[in-house]
Amino acid sequence: MNIALASAWHPRGELRRFLRAWPRLDQAYTSIAISLPPGTDLAGLKPLQELAKITLLVTGDWSWGRHAALRAAMGSSPESVHSTDFDRLVRWVETRPAEWRHCLERIPEADCTIVERSEAAWASHPQALRQTERLANLFMSHFLGRVYDLSAGSKGFSRRAARFILANSPEVAGKPGRALGTDAEWPLLLRRGGFRLQSLQVDGLDWESADRYQEQAVSFDDQRLAAQAYDADPRNWQDRLRIAQEIIESGLDAAHRPLIFP
Q: pLDDT (tens digit, 9 = 90+) per residue, 9-34?
A: 999 999 999 999 999 999 999 999 99
| pLDDT band (50, 70, 90) for residue 77 | very high
Q: 163-172 b/e with 16+ CB inside 10 Å = b? A: bbbbebbbbe
Within a domain: residue 9? yes
What are the residues whose beta carbons fall under 8 Å from the beta carbon of 88, sequence distance 6 or more?
A: 152, 153, 154, 205, 208
Within a domain: residue 64? yes
- What sign does the CA torsion over 223, 139, 148, 1 have? negative
Within a domain: residue 55? yes
Within a domain: residue 262? no
pLDDT at 171: 76
The average confidence (pLDDT) of the chain is 95
Nearest-Å Rg of the Cα atoms of the chain is 17
Higher pLDDT, 106 or 1: 106
58-62-65 Cα angle (round to 5)? 75
| pLDDT band (50, 70, 90) for residue 170 | confident
Within a domain: residue 210? yes
| pLDDT band (50, 70, 90) for residue 54 | very high
At 40, give phi and psi (nearest 5°).
Answer: -65, 130
Within a domain: residue 186? yes
Q: How many domains does the structure of the chain reveal? A: 1
In contact, 107 and 29? CB cutoff 8 Å: no
Q: How far is CA 197 from the centre of its chain?
A: 16
In contact, 191 and 197? CB cutoff 8 Å: yes
In contact, 147 and 137? CB cutoff 8 Å: yes
Within a domain: residue 261? no
Q: How far is the C-alpha of 125 from the C-alpha of 123, rounded, in Å? A: 6
- CATH code where residue 77 lies: 3.90.550.10
Host H or E run for residue 161: helix 159-167
Report yes or no on whether pTM surpasses 0.75: yes
Q: How far is CA 11 from the centre of its chain?
A: 15
Per-residue CA distances from 168 to 23, 39, 164, 226 (Å): 35, 28, 6, 38
pLDDT in tens, 79-108: 999 999 999 999 999 999 999 999 999 999
Expressed as residue numbers, the domain containing 131 is 3-256
Q: How far is the C-alpha of 163 from the C-alpha of 157, rounded, in Å? A: 9
